[in-house]
Amino acid sequence: MIDKRTEQIKELLPVYFIMGSPNCNGRDPVNVLEEAIEGGITLFQFREKGEKALTGNEKVRLAERLQRVCQENHIPFIVNDDLDLAIELDADGVHVGQDDLEAGIVREKFSNKILGVSTHTIEEAAQAIKDGADYLGLGPIYPTSSKDDAEEVAGTEIIERFRDHGITLPIVGIGGITSENAEQVIQAGADGVAVISAIASSPNVEEAAKSFLRANNK
Ligand code: 3NM
């Protein structure tokens, strides 16, 4: 049975924008986020990772500024792999990967919040569902240069395989997704696409976000 929470989560996933300062080509991430929201993104994840990523107080200050923009625009604010920061800011949710803090622990300490888990196998998905995940991130669907330790390219087949296995939890595809290939990701069974570079690195962030909305027919 599809419950109300599942439906609400699905509504958030069509254009899931992810970024941190290293993804913004030297631009102020706050401006990038504002433009992306103007273009119609449906969910935001703060992911301050990689070379030149901010740490400590600087990371917290940036998170606060981005969270404020999200709050003003009624876009839920998700924190990548930093439960302490999510708790400190009372964020709307946390996203964890397989090498991050265990999803079950996040669910316990941050109950009633949105919990996303990156999974690559049916077994990992089953565990994430048991742990109380609200949605699964599947990827990389296409080659990506935004994640150094990305797994092998999975293609849209991974989404079809998870659906064929009876997994009904909301799914978002991630990795190398552009407005040109987003439709295939949705057609394979995903509820949305998670995107870093095709939005954050675009010379026209607002238009880039809009092009995903069109691709998803939402
Ligand atoms: N996770 P872009 S791929 C953050 O496979 C992330 O789990 C991935 O960035 C996974 O849209 C990825 O620029 C990077 O390809 C996505």
**What does the buried/exposed string (b/e) look like for 24-49 if buried means 16 or more CB atoms within 10 Å of the residue's CB?**
beeeebeebbbbbbebbbbbbbbbbe
How many domains are there within the chain?
1
DSSP string, 181-196: THHHHHHTT-SEEEES
pLDDT tier at 51, thresholds 50, 70, 90: confident
Q: Is 150 in the pocket of ligand 1 (CB under 6 A)?
A: yes
Residue 14 makes CB contacts below 8 A (sequence gap 6+) with 42, 191, 192, 193, 212, 213, 216, 218
Confidence category of residue 60, pLDDT binned at 50, 70, 90: very high
* Separation of alpha carbons 178 and 193, rounded Å: 9
- Whether the CB of 197 sits within 6 Å of ligand 1: yes
pLDDT in tens, 199-210: 999 999 999 999
Q: How far is the CA of 172 from the centre of ligand 1 (A)?
A: 11
pLDDT score of 13 more than 90:
yes
Residues across the chain: 218
How far does the centroid of ligand 1 lie from the alpha carbon of residue 131, in Å? 22
Regarding the beta carbon of 174 and ligand 1, being less than 6 Å apart is answered yes
Structural domain harbouring 73: 4-215
pTM of the complete model beyond 0.95: yes
Instruction: Please report the pLDDT score of residue 3 as a whole number.
Output: 84
Atom of ligand 1 nearest to the CA of 140: 5
As annotated, the active-site residues are: 47, 118, 147
- What is the rounded average pLDDT of the residues 13-20? 98
Reduced to 3 states, what is the DSSP secondary structure of residue 131? helix
If you average pLDDT over residues 73-91, what whole number do you get?
Answer: 98
The predicted pLDDT at position 102 comes to 96
End-to-end CA distance of the chain: 23
CA of 147 to the centre of ligand 1 (A): 6
Q: What's the CATH code of the domain at 43?
A: 3.20.20.70
Distance (Å, rounded) from C-alpha 125 to C-alpha 191?
16
**Pairing between strand 135-138 and 114-119?**
parallel
Q: What is the pLDDT of residues 115-153, one digit of tens each?
A: 999 999 999 999 999 999 999 999 999 999 999 889 999
Nearest atom, ligand 1, residue 200 CA: 13
Distance of CA 37 to the CA centre of its chain: 14
Nearest-atom index, ligand 1, CA of 154: 5
Are residues 208 and 202 in contact, defined by beta-carbon separation less than 8 angstroms? yes
* pLDDT above 80 for 2: no
Q: Is the pLDDT at 184 greater than 70, yes or no?
A: yes
Give the mean pLDDT of 86-90. Answer: 98
Residue 15 has a pLDDT of 98
Alpha-carbon gap, residue 7 to 28, rounded angstroms: 33
Rounded mean pLDDT, 25-47: 98
pLDDT band at 216, cuts 50/70/90?
confident
- In this prediction, the answer to ipTM > 0.85 reads yes
**For residue 183, how many other CB atoms are within 10 A of its CB?**
15
